[in-house]
Amino acid sequence: MKKLNIRDLDLKGKRVLVRVDFNVPQDKKTGAIKDDARIAGALPTIRHIIDCGGRAVLMSHLGRPDGQPNPQFTLKPVAERLSQLLGKPVAFAPDCVGDAVKAMALGLKDGEALLLENLRFHAEEEKNEPGFAGQLAELGELYVNDAFGTAHRAHASTEGVTRHFKRNAAGFLMEKEIDYLSRVLESPAKPFVAILGGAKVSDKIAVIENLIPKADAILIGGAMAYTFLLAQGKPVGASLVEQDKLDLARSLLAKSATIRFLLPVDHVAAEKKEGEPDKKGKPTFSFVNARQVTDIPAGLAGVDIGPRTIVEYARAVAGARTVVWNGPMGIFETPEYARGTFEVAKAVAASGATSIVGGGDSASAVQQSGVADRISHISTGGGASLEFLEGKALPGVAALTDS
């Protein structure tokens, strides 16, 4: 899949409207940015515009302000951090549309940058309201999308705005995402191993079905493994299981008969204790007194893959030339239950394969395990990368001009 790239545009003296993903984690009390990786990820595209004499008009969302201005979700701290990383001032607009914002955009000089206030302070953004998209489009003469993490959503800034430009280009980060993920689906180097974890089979159904004809092996971990194991008649104790997906699990197991479809052969299991409900009234749980087991007995819940499974999965990964990983092997946020996830991360890094790690928990896991620099590509979009691997057309990608 080849899309028009920012390097194909004549940027000199042009206002370039760029959709970036500055949805960064912040300290809830102080607003301080806890991780600026997404800001840093957009720097190559922003610097290219500035260095070519373009005028960068940057737009992003942050958090979930529910369509209303909310100082908790202002992008002003992001503008300040971006200024530090760029080594030059970045102007900050009080809104993302309106006469004052338009005047600021029109007043930019060559090599300058402006960051707009949070797009989601307006409900029209997520509704992809045409009038709102038109207002955004007035701020630029060219359009570039570098926010893969939002490409699976047809919002005004990712899809609606593109209708107002003759050509719509991918930024460098977007290009990298498309290239790596397209390679997996179109022509992966063999052997190709997919590692899928997380809580629910239902979240990964379409990915599994789409990868079965392409992969040589699929390794299953996380809570979703217990639904598959129960579907095979194996004891899973009090582990998280999707009872309504057992028939589906059996169907997927049957479809995967032509490839290696690996499930955990041992587990770390713990006692499941219910705690106080959370703020939304949902029950919370803690897991204590963990032990290694082959079969999970009643009263215990699986919280990680066991040592034999770690060895088996590492062997499967060792001979791969392409590895895709999306989803942790257990409750890795708890240090006692992180070994399986971290060991798989290390095995992927050591394999020498072209490795693509999905966003979210998997990206966090490779960072925490200290092997991020040995992963070929860490996706910036968990949901977007999943939908791409499902074979779905992402609105924000489909709206870009083919090259």
Residue 135: count of CB within 10 angstroms of its CB = 20
How far apart are the C-alpha atoms of 389 and 381, rounded to whole Å?
Answer: 12
- H or E stretch covering 164: none
Cβ proximity of 157 and 30 under 8 Å: no
Residue 31 annotated among the catalytic residues of the structure:
no
> Which residue among the candidates 3, 15, 19, 38 is catalytic per the annotation?
38
Q: Is 13 labeled as catalytic in the residue annotation? A: no
Annotated catalytic, 29?
A: no
Task: Name the residue type at position 320.
Answer: A
How many angstroms separate the Cα of 122 from the Cα of each of 73, 131, 146, 262?
12, 12, 21, 46
* 359 among known catalytic residues: no
Task: Please name which of 76, 103, 102 lies closest in space to residue 90, comparing C-alpha atoms.
Answer: 76
Judging by DSSP bridges, how do beta strands 354-357 and 55-59 pair with one another?
A: unpaired
Query: Of 137, 141, 152, which is closest to residue 59 (Cα–Cα)?
Result: 137
Query: In this structure, are residues 205 and 229 in contact, taking their beta carbons and an 8 Å threshold?
Result: no
Selected catalytic residue, list 302, 306, 360, 396 = 360
Count, residues in the chain:
403
Q: Which amino acid is at 138?
A: E
Residue 230 CA to residue 241 CA, distance in Å, equals: 8
Cβ neighbours of residue 308 under 8 Å, at least 6 residues apart?
265, 266
Which residues does the annotation mark as catalytic?
A: 38, 200, 360, 383
